[in-house]
Chain A
Amino acid sequence: MNCREFADFLMSYLDNELDAEACRVFESHLDGCRPCVGYMEDYKKTVELGRCVCKDGEGPVPEDAPRELVAAILEARKTLR
């Protein structure tokens, strides 16, 4: 396995979708390749960062709801009655 193949199969590896033999080949590449170890670590961090930033990272929403949008939504409700 080379680094390109490693990168191709990385997600399947992390999702435990590789069979035992493919897993062994994957891990034996990982044992001898520092760039791929670094790539995998930062790939995992990327997933975590995306998840956390959008889940709770935006904290209190930094603005009030646009008044005209609130008004338009409430106005639209009247058409339902």
Chain B
Amino acid sequence: MEPAGPLLSPERVRDAKLLERLRVGDDAAFRELVQTNTAPLLVLARRFLRNEDDARDAVQDAFFSAFRALDKFSGEALLSTWLHRITVNACLMKLRTRRRHPEESIDDLLPGFLEDGRHATPSKPWEGGAEALLESEENRQLVGAAIERLPEKYRTVLILRDIEDYDTEGTAQALGLSVPAVKTRLHRARQALKSLLDRHFTRGRG
């Protein structure tokens, strides 16, 4: 009996066919690739850059890099995953090169303490667990908006570590920071995000 070949998901099969067409320079295949992936990549880029023009530039740069690297792409990852990674890099490059905005402070969003080290105003616990909170579309939008409100240097670390699953070393390398600096920023970013969400999710709000 013939050994069964590896089972490819329909998504993988479609992807492999598209890749074949891309490699021979099929214009329709390029159009399909760009049309399918531009919208989700733009959402990703807006999250990093918070500026529509910069986000569009980053997506365009990412596609340009991808087109040039197509011959080297192994096809192990899905095209969408590959493009996602390239777009993250394009966003980081954009962050590095664009004019710096004045540093936004995060202090107001960090927990306050009394002189003896106790919480100055202990936050009330949230209503419900993460899963229950995520059931509401309104809550999902609140979380997305709160992430967007984080100052850039904290937002970038939070996105890379908690959302893009970069490890601490990878994040440090991508941002030219030390490992301890990444850890501190990530912790502050999470604390600030929690503060922003406290006002919506704590019991007895309103």
Contact = CB atoms under 8 A, between A and B. Distances in A.
Interface of A: 2-5, 7, 10-12, 34-36, 38-39, 41-55, 57-58, 61, 63-66, 69-70, 72-74, 76-77, 80-81
Contacts, number: 138
Given A41-B125, A73-B63, A11 B186 contact: yes
A55 B130 CA distance: 14
Residue among A42, A61, A80 with the most chain B CB within 10 A?
Answer: A42
A46 to B, nearest CB: 4
A43 B190 contact: yes
A35 B119 contact: yes
B60 A39 contact: no
A43 B194 CA distance: 6
B34 A2 contact: no
Given A11-B183, A42-B198, A50-B193, A73 B59 contact: yes
Contacts of A70: 31, 34-35, 38
B140 interface: yes
Given A2-B113, A5-B117, 14 more contacts: A4-B113, A39-B111, A41-B125, A42-B198, A43-B191, A46-B193, A50-B147, A50-B190, A53-B147, A54-B144, A64-B39, A65-B35, A66-B38, A66-B56
B42 A76 contact: no
B35 A80 contact: no
A58 B197 contact: no
A46 B187 CA distance: 11
A81 B39 CA distance: 25
Contact of A53 (B59, B144, B194): B144
A56 B46 CA distance: 16
B17 interface: no
B133 A63 contact: no
A14 B188 CA distance: 14
B163 interface: yes
B204 interface: no
Contacts of A41: 125-126
B138 to A, nearest CB: 12
B143 A7 contact: no
B64 interface: yes
What 10 pairs across the A-B complex have the smallest Cβ distances? A2-B117, A35-B122, A65-B38, A48-B130, A61-B39, A11-B187, A4-B113, A46-B194, A4-B117, A38-B125
Contacts of A10: 187
B113 A3 contact: yes
A2 B116 contact: yes
